[in-house]
Amino acid sequence: MESSDNGTATIRRTPNGLAITVPSRKQWFAMIFLPVWLLGWAAGFVAAGGSVIGSLGGGEIPDLFLAVWLILWTAGGVFALSVVSWLWFGKEAFRIEGSRVVYFRGVFGFGMRKELHRGQITNVRYHAVDTSLFSGNRNMAAFGFGEGRIRFDYGMKTFSFGLALDEAEARYLADRIAAEL
C-alpha cells in the first residue's frame, strides 16, 4: 500500500490491477455544526411528531400545515444526516480490475457503484473545481459533493471523482490512471 506522497488518496496494487481510495472532502465547520443542528432538528421532530400522533390518537384530523411541515422537516433531517455521514465517513474507490473499472462513492458500503468497460475509458485528466462557498454558481463542492478533480470520458459521458484531492495529487493520479489504462 502506498500514499501518493503524503496525499489524501491511498493507492494499492492488487493482483487484478490498481485500487485508489479517496476519503470525502472534509469541511470541518459543517462536520461540527450539522451534528449540533441535528440535535435541534430532533427536538422539533419530536415536538411536531408528538402533536401529529397525539391528534391521530384522539380521533382528530391532524393540522394540515403541521403534517406537511413534519414531512419537509423529516426530509431536511435525512439530508443533513446524509451530509454528516458523507463528511465523516464517505469515500470514493476507483479500481482497475482486468477488463473493467469499478467506481464506488458511498458510506459504509452503501452508495453509488458503477462498473465500466476499461477499453472505453479515454481522456483521463485533471479538472479544476471551485470549492469556494461564495463562488456564486450554486456549487455543492463547498459541502463535499459535486464533480471531482479527476475526469474521464466513457463513451459519450464524462465521469469525475476525487473532489478531496488537491491539484498536484489529482494530476499525479490522473497520469497514473491513464498509464494503467
Residues 104 and 151 in one domain: yes
Residues 138 and 51 in one domain: no
Q: Is the pLDDT of residue 6 over 80?
A: no
Confidence category of residue 48, pLDDT binned at 50, 70, 90: confident
Q: What residues make up the domain containing 41?
A: 30-87
Residues 18 and 107 in one domain: yes
- pLDDT tens profile 112-127: 999 999 989 999 999 8
| Contact between 149 and 126 (Cβ < 8 Å) | yes
Residues 20 and 100 in one domain: yes
Residues 104 and 54 in one domain: no
Confidence category of residue 146, pLDDT binned at 50, 70, 90: confident
3-class SS letters over 114-176: EEEEHHHEEEEEECCCCCCCCCCCCCHHHHCCCCCCEEEEECCEEEEECCCCCHHHHHHHHHH
Domains held by the chain: number: 2
Where is the domain boundary, 87, 104, 135? 87
- Rounded CA-CA distance 85/7 in Å is 22
**pTM listed for this prediction:** 0.76
Residues 20 and 34 in one domain: no
Where is the domain boundary, 40, 70, 87? 87
Mean pLDDT for all residues in the chain: 85
Higher pLDDT, 142 or 120: 120
- Rounded CA-CA distance 65/94 in Å is 46
- Rounded CA-CA distance 99/136 in Å is 41
Residues 83 and 99 in one domain: no
Residues 64 and 98 in one domain: no
Where is the domain boundary, 72, 87, 102? 87
Residues 136 and 173 in one domain: yes
User: What pLDDT shows up at residue 181?
Assistant: 84
